[in-house]
Chains A and B, each alone.
Chain A
């Protein structure tokens, strides 16, 4: 019960302080909207919120899913072959060093009008790096004795991967996935804000800006925060299920 009540109180106190801050300073809502402005703004556009929220959600999840597939694949290649690691790693680092905000307009122009593709692509590009790195490090730092225990019994490479390498890498993988889910979400929103008529919560935010509807912009921020929290905790739950043992061993 405490796990729910304590955060709930914290949120309530935060909202009250926010409301007070705006009220005391007598800020107009284009400077800073207060919580009491936000609910009406949400209610006015509630259908758009759900429709666009769904767009943002599925684009993020699909982008993340592709990032997981590619990241795990690249990580496995780099983890198992030293030569390929030396070949791929500098490329990856270079690619990751490019601020993705600069890639957004390029992609947007490259596939003009294909909003779903653009958005998923950016979500993927921004989030696969930590996954690839964590998987490759997890696999390449596998102590040789772990392998030898199975290899000395005549186990095949794939059996060693399933029984030892994969489970041993899961904690690192989920650590990276927590970072990646946040990044993918940022990527989705960057693209949605930039793409004209692109739908998604980012587009709703942009239309709030165009129409000087500041409470709407704040309402979108809150909706994004809720969605982000939801995504993050889905990963946390998956981590508990598949790599809960790691938490116990570091207690």
Chain B
């Protein structure tokens, strides 16, 4: 494994993390090493409760690893960074703000030189990119689940983060809305490149969106398996139904089963 600081935007080096709970120590991540190249997009899958959300917190600096290091663009992470954007399964929009004001929220926190008008312009540009033109002044509760998740993506990207961390952002959506949002993700990536890490339970989603899929072992999670996904310039949903894709999905499925049974045994 090469630690090329210039090429790799995210480096996770031999990271171990243990929660201290009332019932004792819970090792969640063990000796995990992985890199994501600049402007790469990696999906992480694994059994439920294996430590994926914990991994996103370690990358964003919300948690500190017990052992090992996390680097973003060559810088060791010890505290949260404004160069990170996050979106979760729950869109967590603030009901007392309009959609555009929700999207502008990071710009009120991250140091920047934009004036109010430029901030609004930036938010509007993103909102129209995800198909929310005309909904700027609506309240979150007036939008559908899929639309809220689109707005949440805009908020994650509005301050032009170098790294986008997505923790099952489409997990609560129905299948068709989810596929729509996959296309939105491809658009966003094309318009403004970022390095992305996507946690997901949906194997089709992982190979459709990511350049690489990593399967984590059962808890405590470490890298169990990975596969590179060749990407065309304009990915089509049809490509999920080619025999190549189907083989890949089968392989991933098997790996997940291995991880799951390992997690069962460790209980």
Contacts and interface: CB of A to CB of B under 8 A. Distances in A.
A159 B111 CA distance: 13
Nearest to B165: A152
A145 B155 CA distance: 14
B74 interface: no
B66 interface: no
Contacts of A153: 80, 82, 84, 106, 109-110, 159
Contact of A164 (B57, B62, B94, B159): B94
Nearest to A250: B141
Interface stretch (A56-64, A129-137, A219-227, A241-249): A241-249
Contacts of B159: 153
B139 A145 contact: no
Given A148-B62, A249-B139, A154 B109 contact: yes
A167 B96 contact: yes
A150 B139 CA distance: 20
A151 B105 contact: no
A112 interface: no
A155 B61 CA distance: 12
Contacts, number: 63
A170 B97 CA distance: 14
A94 to B, nearest CB: 27
Interface in A160-185: 163-164, 167-168, 170
A14 interface: no
A248 B109 contact: no
14 contacts: A143-B90, A148-B57, A148-B60, A148-B88, A149-B155, A151-B62, A152-B60, A152-B61, A152-B80, A154-B80, A154-B81, A168-B96, A245-B139, A246-B95
Interface of B: 57, 60-62, 79-82, 84, 86, 88, 90, 92, 94-96, 105-106, 108-110, 139-141, 155, 159, 165
Interface of A: 143, 145-146, 148-155, 159, 163-164, 167-168, 170, 243, 245-246, 248-249
